[in-house]
Amino acid sequence: MKKRILTGDRPTGQLHLGHYVGSLKNRIEMQHSHEQFVMIADAQALTDNYDHPEKIRSNIFEVMLDYLAVGIDPSKSTIFIQSQIPQLFELTFYFLNMVTYNRLKHNPTVKMEMQQKGMEETVTAGFMIYPVSQAADIALFGGEVIPVGADQMPIIEQTNEIVRRFNSVYHTDVLKEAQPLLSLCPRLPGADGKAKMSKSLGNALTLSASFKEIEEVVKKMYTDPAHLRVEDPGKVEGNVVFTYLDAFDPDLNRVKELKDHYQRGGLGDMTLKRHLIQVLENCVAPFRENRERLKQNPQMVLDLLQEGTSRAKKEGQRKLEEIKDAMRINYRLDHFSTMR
């Protein structure tokens, strides 16, 4: 039996290169050997965008386009909208009894995101419990392998704590623990080199970036501030251009040659950046072209999303029945007749 993958993205904008090397490449490859569920996490996105739901609504279609453009096959992967699966919210409610508020408050991912968004004193209850919601996402679809970035590791840890607690309390093995799957580049820095690539930080290149956009961003990339002359030796460590070449250039020997040349001197930053521009264009161009083609047939894209959501809803209901049976709350009329 194939192992299951549960993965997804928040529809707060188009997906970017950090998503691609972070988990999309894994999803594309593993959909052939695993049973994969890909969630457009619109409900989770509302935890910090509840006052702008139109932003989430408009980007659901954009994220679906990105998935199809990069090669996620809806005949092999079930792509669905989170908010359309009511069983997820029911299971989240049950899971809230499996975790303490204090544990949620100290989740490293939650703390980091609260600081990034400046919401320490204004954080909502919905935002605080989103790790529980993610645990429900994983558990309802039996996710055993979860492609994640390094910053999401605490979420997987908390999911497994909840799963173990649930199975112990109800003397069952109905829920499975999940294993994280990190990519070779689990944390791609933004073009500014100061933080991970993020739409909200304005340091990202989308999967449909034009050649001009790629060129403009790469030309501003941080290299080695001490590399003032072409003939000077330069540093590779911390050099964002080389970080991107490591992530995107398929010619590993060429990257090694460039590193050696840069370190001994004689290789200019602009020559290096021109090479990276072409590498990124070679990567993005097929996605950009596929996306533009798909965009011409929006009804087909929406139909595929509806079909995947319908399949996910049926699977969610099947699994929730198992979970409620284990909890002994799957009430039926015959249960009440025997209780009198």
CA dist list (Å): 99 to 4, 104, 132, 134, 162: 25, 7, 8, 13, 7
Cβ-in-10-Å burial (0-12, 13-18, 19+) of 41 comes to buried
* DSSP helix/strand/coil, 41: coil
Adjacent-strand bridge partners of 7: 38
Chunked into runs of 10 residues, the chain (340 residues) has average pLDDT values of 92 92 90 96 93 94 97 97 98 96 86 78 86 96 89 90 97 96 78 70 85 94 89 92 94 96 94 97 97 97 98 97 95 62
Integer Cα distance of 199 and 110 in angstroms: 18
The most distant pair of C-alpha atoms in the chain lies apart, rounded to whole Å, by 90
* DSSP helix/strand/coil, 64: helix
What is the reported pLDDT for 182? Answer: 84
* Ramachandran angles phi, psi of 226, nearest 5°: -85, -5
**If you ran DSSP here, which 8-state letter would residue 151 be given?**
G
Assess contact for 70 and 28: CB atoms under 8 A: yes
Q: What is the DSSP string of 165-225?
A: HHHHHTT---S---EEEE-SSSSPBPTTSSSB--TTTT---BTT--HHHHHHHHHT----T
What is the reported pLDDT for 249? Answer: 96
Assess contact for 60 and 42: CB atoms under 8 A: yes
Question: CB-based contacts of 336: which residues, under 8 Å, 6+ apart?
Answer: none
What is the reported pLDDT for 245? Answer: 96
What is the reported pLDDT for 127? Answer: 87
What is the reported pLDDT for 228? Answer: 85
Which element (helix H / strand E) includes 65?
A: helix 53-70
Tokens of 269: 């930053």
Integer Cα distance of 259 and 278 in angstroms: 17
Q: What angle do CA 112, 117, 121 make, to 5 degrees?
A: 90
Domains, the chain, ordered by start = 4-189+298-339 (3.40.50.620), 211-293 (1.10.240.10)
Tokens of 228: 């003032």
Q: What angle do CA 121, 124, 125 make, to 5 degrees?
A: 125
Q: What angle do CA 21, 5, 244 make, to 5 degrees?
A: 5
Crossing angle of helices 108-117 and 153-169, in 10° steps, is 130
Model-wide pTM > 0.85: yes
Adjacent-strand bridge partners of 145: 5, 179
Tokens 């290149």, residue? Answer: 205
Question: CB-based contacts of 72: which residues, under 8 Å, 6+ apart?
Answer: 24, 27, 28, 31, 38, 79
Tokens 């090669």, residue? Answer: 71
What is the reported pLDDT for 48? Answer: 86
What is the reported pLDDT for 119? Answer: 76
